[in-house]
Amino acid sequence: MDLELAGRHVLVTGGSKGIGLACARGFLREGARVSLVARNEAALAEAALSLADARPDAALQVATFSADLSDPLAAVAVLDRIEQAHGPVDVLVNAAGAARRTPADELDAARWHAAMQAKYFTYIHMIDPLVKRMAARGGGAIVNVVGAGGKVASPIHLAGGAANAALMLASAGLANAYARRGVRVNVVNPGLTATERLQEGLAAEARHRGGTVEEALARAAERLPLGRIAEPEEIADAVLFLASARASYVTGAVLSMDGAAVPTVV
């Protein structure tokens, strides 16, 4: 199946590791040009090197940009740099930022604010200027990697889950607002996925329920009908489809990828 992504300019936030890096690799293999944004320059350099095997000319098709997207001015500034250097962005994949998983008893006002800043505003600061530019150009695709915690309230992820829920609503609303101007906006909600962030969540689960991180991982895998956690590449495959021409009539969708852990039609 030709996804028609060859030659497209894809911006991946949070592209230095985890799901974002897996998405970057997938887009490169489909022939796209990729700009990666993350806060840590060293991590970005390492990510770019790790993508060398994605295609023979990968080094020429990957550009890295360091920025703190929790700052709206920094987000616009890095977007300007990216488009000036490599042309208009056709696809935005947001995978940056993650709220810390925190048991309810450990929450306070500062942690609620931090969760919104880490996840919700980090995404919005890039979506807001870019969706308007895409609309002015007559097309574009945005895929927000959010998280299953926005639909199912967890006692160790209430603040982060609230940020995820807000992102889902914003994504659905923007899809409606910009559909007539050719911009599609969709959401992918991963469940447990084998990334560095998983360990943090398992540690919070262990504190909440007692026991070790290893025991928390075993309990988590046991709860999944598929019997295992997801790999980042599996999430990336869904992101690529939603960003592609094959999903030209899909917008405002929220795709759950939790291994059927929550059997619901909503």
266 pLDDT band (50/70/90 cuts)?
Answer: low
Cα separation, 187 vs 144, in Å, equals 5
pLDDT digits (tens, 9 = 90+) for 73-118: 999 999 999 999 999 999 999 999 778 888 899 999 999 999 999 9
Helix %, strand %, coil % for the chain, to 5?
55, 15, 30
Per-residue pLDDT, 160: 93
pLDDT digits (tens, 9 = 90+) for 200-229: 667 766 676 777 877 777 777 778 898 888
pLDDT digits (tens, 9 = 90+) for 238-247: 999 999 999 9
pLDDT digits (tens, 9 = 90+) for 124-160: 999 999 999 999 999 999 999 999 889 988 888 899 9
Say how far residue 237 (Cα) sits from the centre of its chain: 13
**Rg for the chain (alpha carbons), in Å?**
18
pLDDT digits (tens, 9 = 90+) for 11-59: 999 999 999 999 999 999 999 999 999 999 999 999 999 999 999 999 9
pTM, full prediction: 0.92
Residues 6+ apart with CB under 8 A from 250: 184, 186, 242
Residue closest to 165 by CA, chosen among 263, 254, 236: 254
State the fold for domain 9-193+233-257. Rossmann fold (3.40.50)
Domain ranges of the chain: 9-193+233-257
